[in-house]
């Protein structure tokens, strides 16, 4: 029986949430997705800090300490079949406050964690420019409002691509459906700033930090779609597949694939939790 961790207890996955949970009813929820390597969640502190920040921003303060959440992860892993790569998701919702835009009764946020298998990291991705938009906002958070991302990914798959590229309301590149985009122009790599709709990604921050040691400089800048087709290389980052070479044509060069793999190998490896 698959189990999830909900508010300090392991519960059967199919009976874990209340029917009036505001995350279910209204999408009032934020989340983090972590890659688990050999039983160790990667970049735990960074993910937890982002979750706490988002929870505070949406009036859903995280009701558990880092130590309590760590113990919950340990308990979940004890019930998992050992494997090199898994995915941990932590979801924080508005709790069982019932319907209405603003809850009519006070309730503590619901915190749910579950672990599942991780997808294989692809060697390369074909991108498709979607007509679903990613709004440029001052500080986007990772919320459960993913319907546009889902529909954009469906468009990409229907077109024979792997991932969707999202533009913002200004017609500039914001992000991918499930990741941030880096555009290689010579030895300079450009990625959209958060003000364009890009998420403050954990892997995005790692690649920005790694750039100089890897022989390139990363800058934030506005990206028009026509620049993408003229780029020397494209790379998509997220916490599960890490850093993957991409292309609009579908033809990702072997050199780019190797570069993406090498960057993944250069990432910090956490062996303790």
For the segment 245-265, what is each residue's pLDDT rounded down to a tens digit? 999 987 899 999 999 999 999
pLDDT beyond 80 at 99: no
Confidence tier at 271 by pLDDT (50, 70, 90)? confident
pTM of the model: 0.93
Give me 259's structure tokens. Answer: 């570069």
Q: What is the pLDDT of residue 125?
A: 97
Confidence tier at 131 by pLDDT (50, 70, 90)? very high
pLDDT beyond 80 at 122: yes
Average pLDDT taken over every residue of the chain = 92
Kindly report, as residue ranges, where domains of CATH 3.30.470.10 are found in the chain. 3-117
Fold of 124-266: D-amino Acid Aminotransferase; Chain A, domain 2 (3.20.10)
Ramachandran quadrant class, 171 (left: phi over 0; alpha: psi -120 to 50; beta: rest):
left
Tell me what the mean pLDDT of segment 150-179 comes to: 97
Q: What is the pLDDT of residue 137?
A: 83
Burial class from Cβ neighbours inside 10 Å (0-12, 13-18, 19+) for residue 242 reads: buried
For the segment 191-236, what is each residue's pLDDT rounded down to a tens digit? 999 999 999 999 999 999 999 988 899 999 999 999 888 899 999 9
For the segment 66-93, what is each residue's pLDDT rounded down to a tens digit? 999 999 999 999 877 767 899 999 999 9
Tell me what the mean pLDDT of segment 3-31 comes to: 89
For the segment 165-181, what is each residue's pLDDT rounded down to a tens digit? 999 999 999 999 999 99
Percent of the residues in the chain that have a pLDDT greater than 90, as a whole number: 77
Q: Are strands 85-93 and 124-133 parallel, antiparallel or unpaired?
A: unpaired
Q: What is the pLDDT of residue 18?
A: 85
Q: What is the pLDDT of residue 2?
A: 82
Q: Are strands 163-167 and 124-133 parallel, antiparallel or unpaired?
A: parallel
Kindly report, as residue ranges, where domains of CATH 3.20.10.10 are found in the chain. 124-266
| Burial readout 41-77 (b: 16 or more C-beta within 10 A, e: otherwise) | bbbbebbbebbbebbeebebebebeeeebeebbeebb
Task: Determine the angle formed by the axes of helices 202-214 and 44-57, rounding to 10 degrees.
Answer: 140
Fold of 3-117: D-amino Acid Aminotransferase; Chain A, domain 1 (3.30.470)
DSSP 267: S
Q: Within 13 Å and on the Cβ side, how many CA atoms surround 235?
A: 30
């Amino acid at each position: 029986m698959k189990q999830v961790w909900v508010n300090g207890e392991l519960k059967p996955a199919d009976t874990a949430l209340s029917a009036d949970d505001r995350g279910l009813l209204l999408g009032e929820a934020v989340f983090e997705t972590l890659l688990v390597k050999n039983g160790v969640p990667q970049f735990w502190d960074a993910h937890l800090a982002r979750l706490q920040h988002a929870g505070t921003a949406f009036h859903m303060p995280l009701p558990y300490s880092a130590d309590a959440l760590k113990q919950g992860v340990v308990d979940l892993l004890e019930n998992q079949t050992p494997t090199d790569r898994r995915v941990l998701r932590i979801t924080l919702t508005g709790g069982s406050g019932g319907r209405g835009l603003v809850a009519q009764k006070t309730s503590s946020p619901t915190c749910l964690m579950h672990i599942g298998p991780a997808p294989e990291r692809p060697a390369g991705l074909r991108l498709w420019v979607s007509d679903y938009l990613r709004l440029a906002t001052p500080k986007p958070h990772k919320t459960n409002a993913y319907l546009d991302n889902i529909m954009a990914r469906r468009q990409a798959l229907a077109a024979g691509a792997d991932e969707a590229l999202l533009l913002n309301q200004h017609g500039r590149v914001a992000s991918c459906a499930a990741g941030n985009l880096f555009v290689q122009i010579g030895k300079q790599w450009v990625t959209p700033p958060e003000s364009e709709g890009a998420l403050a990604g954990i892997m995005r921050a790692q690649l920005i930090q790694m750039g100089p040691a890897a022989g390139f400089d990363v800058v934030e800048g506005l990206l028009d779609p026509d620049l993408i087709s003229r780029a020397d290389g494209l790379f998509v980052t997220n916490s599960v597949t890490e850093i993957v070479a991409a292309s609009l044509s579908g033809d990702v060069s072997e050199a780019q694939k190797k570069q993406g793999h090498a960057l993944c190998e250069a990432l910090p490896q956490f062996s303790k939790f």
